[in-house]
Amino acid sequence: AEGLTLVRSSRSSTGFEGVCAKSTGNGFTVRKSNQYLGYAATAQEGALLYARHLGAEASAATDAAEDEFMTAAEAEQAAAAEGLTLVRSSRSSTGFEGVYANSKGGGFNVSKWVRGARQYLGCAATAEEGALLYA
């Protein structure tokens, strides 16, 4: 009815781009890069919120784009292009600071400590994409 296209993602455990299951198991958070878009009760509602943020043309174009995983080299390139550095960590099983495998088995959660409190940054399909989000 709104002319929007839900952006699907084979990389996300929810099946939708920008929609991540909350670690508490109750509902879904919706993000576009580092921008928090909101909370949804279902993955489909989250996908609709994401599509509304993009708009009709952008949501259709994004859904039509090829859904590929970002390689380590691509993440490094993207970080350099934005003037960022991926933060490596020997303490993390992913090899990157603030990037943790999702306990539900799909993707990676990304967070960082800010003024003594953990700030959730989002979720990513690969550790490399998580590192770029953290950077």
**What pTM, to 2 d.p., does this model score?**
0.55
Using one digit for the tens of pLDDT, what is the confidence trace for 21-66? 876 668 888 888 778 899 999 989 999 999 898 887 777 766 555 4
Both structure tokens of 66: 């090829």
Q: Alpha carbon of 16 to those of 24, 65, 87: distances in Å?
A: 19, 13, 27
CB 46 within 8 A of CB 40: yes
Query: 59-102 pLDDT, tens per residue?
Result: 776 655 545 667 778 888 888 888 888 899 999 999 999 998 87
